[in-house]
Chain A
Amino acid sequence: MANLIRRATRLPLPGKIGLALVLFWIVIAVIGPWIAPYPPGSFVNEEVFAGSSRAYWLGSDFLGRDVLSRLVSGARFTVGLSAIAVTIAASIGTGLALTAAVGPRWLDELLSRAMDTLISIPSKIFALVLVAAFGSSMALLTLIIAITYIPGNFRIARSLAVGLAKLDYVEVARARGEGRLHLAVVEILPNILKPLFADIGLRFVFIVLLLSGLSFLGLGLQPPDADLGSLVRENTSGLAEGALAIIAPAAAIASLTVGVNLLIDAATQGKAE
Chain B
Amino acid sequence: MSGAPSVSAWRGPIRLVGKRIGLALITLLLVSAVVFTISGLLPGDAAQEVLGQGATPEQVAALRHEMGLDRPAAVRYFEWLAAIAAGDPGNSIVANKPVADIISERLPNTLTLAGLTTVFAVPFAFLVGIWSAVTRGRATDRSLNIMTLAMVALPEFLVATIAVMVFSVKLLWLPSITIVPQDPTLGEFLRAYALPVMVLGVGVIAQLSRMIRAAIIAELDRPYVEMARLKGVSQARLIVRHVLPNAVGPIANAMALSLSYLFGGAIIVETIFSYPGLASLMVNAVTSRDMPLLQACAMIFCAAYLLLVLIADTVAILANPRLRQG
Give the B-binding residues of A (Cβ under 8 A). Answer: 14, 113, 116-118, 120-125, 128-135, 205, 209, 212-213, 216-219, 229, 232, 239-242, 246-247, 250-251, 253-254, 257-258, 260-262, 265
Considering the complex of A and B, which 6 residue pairs feature the smallest CB-CB distances, nearest first?
A: A257-B153, A124-B264, A250-B158, A117-B30, A132-B286, A261-B153
- Which A residues are in CB contact (< 8 Å) with B31? 117, 120-121
Cβ of B315 < 8 Å from any Cβ of A? no
| Cβ contact within 8 Å between A246 and B161 | yes
Q: Chain A's nearest CB lies how many Å from the CB of B214?
A: 12
Give the A-binding residues of B (Cβ under 8 A). Answer: 27-28, 30-31, 34-35, 38-39, 41-43, 145-146, 149-150, 152-158, 161-162, 164-165, 169-170, 176, 260-261, 263-264, 267-268, 271, 282-283, 285-287, 289, 291, 294, 297-298, 301-302, 305-306, 309
| Cβ contact within 8 Å between B39 and A213 | no
- Which B residues are in CB contact (< 8 Å) with A260? 153
Bound Cα distance from A130 to B42, whole angstroms? 9
Given A122-B260, A242-B165, are A128 and B153 also a contact pair (CB < 8 Å)? no
Bound Cα distance from A262 to B147, whole angstroms? 10
Q: Which residue of A lies closest to B29 (CB)?
A: A117
| Cβ contact within 8 Å between B146 and A262 | yes
| Cβ contact within 8 Å between B149 and A129 | no
| Cβ contact within 8 Å between A117 and B169 | no
- Which B residues are in CB contact (< 8 Å) with A218? 287
Choose from B38, B169, B267, B309 the contact partner of A242 (Cβ within 8 Å).
Answer: B169
Choose from B145, B158, B169, B264 the contact partner of A125 (Cβ within 8 Å).
Answer: B264
Bound Cα distance from A117 to B29, whole angstroms? 9
| Cβ contact within 8 Å between B156 and A129 | no
Choose among B145, B149, B155, B176 the residue with the greatest number of A CB atoms under 10 Å from its CB: B155
Choose from B30, B38, B39, B301 the contact partner of A122 (Cβ within 8 Å).
Answer: B301
* 11 examples of A-B residue contacts, CB within 8 angstroms: A117-B31, A118-B34, A120-B27, A120-B31, A121-B305, A134-B42, A219-B286, A239-B169, A240-B176, A242-B165, A251-B158
Given A123-B264, A262-B146, are A129 and B161 also a contact pair (CB < 8 Å)? no
| Cβ contact within 8 Å between B149 and A128 | no
Given A128-B283, A254-B158, A258-B154, are A216 and B268 also a contact pair (CB < 8 Å)? yes
- Which B residues are in CB contact (< 8 Å) with A125? 263-264, 282, 297-298, 301-302
| Cβ contact within 8 Å between B267 and A128 | yes
Q: Chain B's nearest CB lies how many Å from the CB of A14?
A: 5
Bound Cα distance from A103 to B128, whole angstroms? 43
Given A121-B298, A213-B157, A239-B161, are A130 and B38 also a contact pair (CB < 8 Å)? yes
- Which A residues are in CB contact (< 8 Å) with B286? 128-129, 131-132, 219
Q: Chain A's nearest CB lies how many Å from the CB of B53?
A: 16
| Cβ contact within 8 Å between B157 and A250 | yes
- Which A residues are in CB contact (< 8 Å) with B28? 120
Q: Which residue of A lies closest to B290 (CB)?
A: A132
Q: Chain B's nearest CB lies how many Å from the CB of A211?
A: 10
Inter-chain pairs besides A125-B297, A250-B158, 12 sampled, C-beta below 8 Å = A116-B27, A117-B30, A118-B34, A120-B31, A133-B41, A209-B155, A213-B156, A217-B268, A232-B161, A242-B165, A257-B153, A261-B152
Q: Chain B's nearest CB lies how many Å from the CB of A221?
A: 15
Q: Chain A's nearest CB lies how many Å from the CB of B225?
A: 18
- Which B residues are in CB contact (< 8 Å) with A257? 153-155
Given A125-B263, A246-B161, are A120 and B306 also a contact pair (CB < 8 Å)? yes
Q: Chain B's nearest CB lies how many Å from the CB of A234?
A: 12
Q: Which residue of A lies closest to B146 (CB)?
A: A14
Q: Chain A's nearest CB lies how many Å from the CB of B36?
A: 10
| Cβ contact within 8 Å between B302 and A132 | no
